[in-house]
Chain A
């Protein structure tokens, strides 16, 4: 069963920041939050991940609330090529540092000119 809930769709104007919310109220202490996106019929593409602290990379920023029950993915300057389905995912660990990704339904982000 999915461990995350996301709005099914969102719009964003080109050049503006896109803020995608995610709820993961049942997340456990050792479970990471991952974000992936899927453009048309390609495979899921990794964006960013975090455990407790906020994270930033060249693609996006991830803001995780202090209680870890929700997070927000921020695309600072959305372009038309950012139109995709965005998945907020909880990674359930196996032993060591491996784990399975639990996908939800995702948010379809439409970036408009």
Chain B
């Protein structure tokens, strides 16, 4: 069984540009979560989807971040325009709708904003 995959693994962009990160959850997992770690800080929750619906986006830092999950499969996280403080590692995790909600993480996307 394939795990959670994320693309790209690394992205280097300039301040003011736009970047889109993609997450493919484990097949059959309806729950999808985004987390991120910025420099020197803990990994923090951003938002949660159940299928295509956003259930909680209390961790989204501001309106420069837009997450979507059209069709309830893969998800994208767009940052527009990117700022220096957005640099960090963005993780995606998925879990089954039934059961214990054990979240399986992808390898992350390392975003560097110059």
Contact = CB atoms under 8 A, between A and B. Distances in A.
B4 A100 contact: no
Contact of B33 (A45, A97, A100, A104): A100
A42 B106 CA distance: 8
B95 interface: yes
B106 A43 contact: yes
Q: How large is the interface on A (under 10, 10 to 19, 20 to 34, 35 or more residues)?
A: 20 to 34
Interface string A45-68: 110010000000000000000000
B63 interface: no
B99 A102 contact: no
B107 to A, nearest CB: 5
B22 interface: no
Contacts of B75: none
Contacts of A43: 4, 91, 93, 105-108
Contacts of A36: 105
B50 A97 contact: no
A76 B107 CA distance: 27
Interface string A4-44: 00000000000000000000000000000000100001111
Contacts of A94: 48, 55-56
A45 B104 CA distance: 7
Contacts of A98: 31, 48, 50, 55, 95, 101
B64 to A, nearest CB: 21
Q: Which 5 A-B pairs have the closest CB atoms?
A: A43-B105, A100-B45, A103-B43, A103-B42, A44-B105
Interface of B: 4, 31, 33, 35, 42-45, 48, 50, 55-56, 59, 91, 93, 95, 98-108, 110
Given A42-B108, A43-B107, A97-B99, 13 more contacts: A2-B42, A41-B110, A42-B107, A43-B93, A94-B55, A94-B56, A95-B55, A97-B101, A98-B55, A100-B45, A100-B59, A103-B42, A103-B43
